């Protein structure tokens, strides 16, 4: 892996160019060789690909007027990219993004763009990480969530407390029922993906509010802590 200092022709670079990947960490920008996976064998990876395919087929079935309405929606609802710039998403990308979320959560996909803004985010988030006699759960406010809101939880587990850059590591571990109340247990959901938790591993959790009618999510809050095991 090589590190580099961007010059006047390239102030900031992020992403892939051919076989080269530009990224950054706490040490600064760096360049590495990229790899292209040749097979998706994991159940979760296959499920992601299936949802993407279904949403893409749904997009193709829309009318010209519906596609135009999505384009107009994207022009108003810009997003922040990895470099912190406000950009306009392609209409089909926005459509696929929202609908894959809805299908993953078990909610009905949509043909028309949302008429509401993204939900307000959580105002607080904390966690306890006891795999013994205590609690392994997150507490949050406001509580309970609304009648059309779910808690969207992503997580990452590592044995190194020094790893703090998580943009490409967090994975969805739990999408709750609507009207979820604080005290959401995450141990079984996290262990189903990362395996049995061990003492002194670091758990990172990111939680957002998910709108079941539009597929939009709020800005997330994050919390992390060390796994412990108390006795009865």
Given a contact cutoff of 8 angstroms between Cβ atoms, the answer to whether 22 and 11 are in contact is: no
pLDDT at 78 over 60: yes
Asked if pLDDT for residue 161 goes beyond 90, the answer is: no
Tell me what pLDDT residue 143 has. Answer: 97
Tell me the helix, strand and coil percentages in the chain, rounded to 5: 25, 30, 45
Res 211 pLDDT > 60? yes
Instruction: Tell me the HSE value of 28 on the side-chain side, using a 13 A CA sphere.
Output: 6
**Residue 27 vs residue 209, higher pLDDT:** 209
Query: Same structural domain for residues 19 and 50?
Result: no
- The answer on 71 and 13 residing in a single domain is no
Which has more pLDDT, 15 or 232?
Answer: 232
What is the model's pLDDT at position 37?
Answer: 47
Question: Which of 178, 188, 161, 173 lies closest to 213 in space, CA to CA?
Answer: 178
How many domains, in total, are found in the chain?
3
Same domain? For 197 and 178 the reply is yes
Average pLDDT of span 92-103? 96
Q: What is the mean pLDDT of the chain?
A: 86
Res. 19 pLDDT band, cuts 50 70 90 = low
Of 118, 109, 115, residue with least CA distance to 69: 115
**pLDDT over 60 (residue 127):** yes
Range of the domain at 12: 2-33
Nearest CA to 203 out of 191, 211, 213, 217 is that of 191
Residues 50 and 25 grouped into a single domain: no
Q: Is the pLDDT of residue 152 over 50?
A: yes
Same domain, yes or no, for 150 and 129?
yes
């Amino acid at each position: 892996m090589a590190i580099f200092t961007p010059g006047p022709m390239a102030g900031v670079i992020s992403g892939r160019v051919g076989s080269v990947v530009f990224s950054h960490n706490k040490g600064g920008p760096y360049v590495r060789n990229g790899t292209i996976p040749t097979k998706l064998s994991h159940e979760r990876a296959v499920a992601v690909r299936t949802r993407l395919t279904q949403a893409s087929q749904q997009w193709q079935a829309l009318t010209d007027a519906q596609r135009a309405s999505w384009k107009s929606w994207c022009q108003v609802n810009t997003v922040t990219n990895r470099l912190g710039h406000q950009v306009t998403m392609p209409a089909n990308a926005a459509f696929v993004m929202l609908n894959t979320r809805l299908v993953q959560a078990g909610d009905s996909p949509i043909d028309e763009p949302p008429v509401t803004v993204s939900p307000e985010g959580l105002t607080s988030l904390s966690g306890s990480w006891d795999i013994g006699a205590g609690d392994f759960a997150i507490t949050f406010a406001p509580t309970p969530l609304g009648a059309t809101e779910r808690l969207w939880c992503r997580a990452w587990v590592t044995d190194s407390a020094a790893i703090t850059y998580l943009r490409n590591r967090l994975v969805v571990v739990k999408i709750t029922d609507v009207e979820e109340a604080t005290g959401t247990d995450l141990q079984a959901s996290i262990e189903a993906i990362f395996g049995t938790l061990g003492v002194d591993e670091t758990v990172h959790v990111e939680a957002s509010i998910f709108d079941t009618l539009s597929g939009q999510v709020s800005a997330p809050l994050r919390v992390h802590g060390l796994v412990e095991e108390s006795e009865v």
